[in-house]
Amino acid sequence: MPYDVAAVRDRFPALKAGFAHFDGPGGSQVPDSVADAVARTLLSPLANRGTVTEAERTADGVVHEARAAMADLLGADARGVVFGRSMTELTFAMARTLAAGWGPGDEVVVTRLDHDANIRPWIIAAAAVGATVRWAEFDPGSAELTEDDVAAVLSPRTRLVALTAASNLLGTRPPVRAIADLAHAVGALVYVDGVHYTAHVPVHVDALGADLYACSPYKFLGPHCGVLAGDPALLETLHPAKLAPSTDAVPERFELGTLPYELLAGTTAAVDFLAAIGDGPGSRRERLLVSMAALEAYEDGLRARIEAGIGQLPGITVYSRAAHRTPTLLLGMGGREQEAYAFLAERGVNAPAGSFYALEASRRLGLGDTGALRVGLAPYVDDTDVDRLLDALTAFAAAS
């Protein structure tokens, strides 16, 4: 299907400020329908979930609708959708829960490609119970993480493999399913960071082989909260620390305290917005698959334009070289990345510089803790934005 970026852009009030946003990997702008859903929910009668009062029923309905929406987006079971403050918080909590069943001699695999939110929680949890952490390295030249890289550190003692479906720093999309199959063959669980991945491609959690899949709605046009999707049967076997009066039902046993109903309503609205891009028949899941495939093709086209333009400029190193990647480019400027960040910002182009919490990946690339300039796309970026980006980069290169 054709992708109508003009119609998409019309729904984003923030774009009226006139900036070209290439900062989507750090958090997207939101459409009007998401803001309206948040406001409408806050202004409705609300209480703790229940079925007696209208306020209780409103809250309960919002939660069930949000679980159903995220299940449709991820191709997951709504009964296994957990909400939390952030992906980071959910991952820390899950790491503590899983580590309760580990001990000395057990092993956990993490990768250098990942955001620290899918590294540090596992390192800390493993250390607390005497388990061993093993590192899967990626090739800094190609930015690829292969199944062989992970296979090299698997063993019969591996209890969990934590990996990203797409690097927030480089855009690299490793072969998650092949890696998951290797992990499952030794009896390990697979925890997938889908934060960056979910924003750009159709997601099929089961097809990825993920036992647990975490993402963040604010990366795909929604509000700031976190989502964890897992097989309800697996979640039934896990027992997190919780308050005595709180329910032991799944998925609620993993949700600490009262949920932010307004943010869940905004999450549903974000999923509905994405589904409406397809503007076709079928279930919401079917429309989402069409929409996200169209978005992926559209963003890949813009990425190709940017790469071609950058290829004509001197003094820029492109670190994003993987064969399969999201529309995200990490650019080296010979140590002048922060200058470039400010230079572009002065011209209304938002493309930040840093390591973006992918600290291990940045160090592996030889960029230390400071990282480089990141250019990332979102559904509302258009050719005019790309022109502004390339013009600003050209001017910066000329001034160097």
Cβ distance 69 to 272 under 8 Å?
A: yes
**CATH says 35-273 is which class?**
alpha beta
Cα-based torsion angle of the residue sequence 267, 273, 277, 278 in order, rounded to the nearest 10 degrees? 70
Rounded mean pLDDT of 346-371? 98
Q: How confident is the model at residue 278 (pLDDT cuts 50, 70, 90)?
A: confident
* Residue pLDDT, tens place only, 116-136: 999 999 999 999 999 999 999
Strands 132-136 and 81-84: unpaired
**Mean pLDDT value across the chain:** 97
Tell me where in the chain the CATH 3.40.640.10 domain(s) lie: 35-273
Rounded mean pLDDT of 171-199? 98
Tell me where in the chain the CATH 3.90.1150.10 domain(s) lie: 5-30+297-399
* Residue pLDDT, tens place only, 25-79: 999 999 999 999 999 999 999 999 999 999 999 999 999 999 999 999 999 999 9
* Residue pLDDT, tens place only, 283-307: 999 999 999 999 999 999 999 999 9
Q: What is 5-30+297-399's CATH topology?
A: Aspartate Aminotransferase, domain 1 (3.90.1150)
Q: How confident is the model at residue 1 (pLDDT cuts 50, 70, 90)?
A: confident
Query: In Å, how far are 130, 307, 316, 341, 395 from 313, measured between CA atoms?
Result: 50, 10, 7, 16, 10
Cβ distance 34 to 276 under 8 Å?
A: no
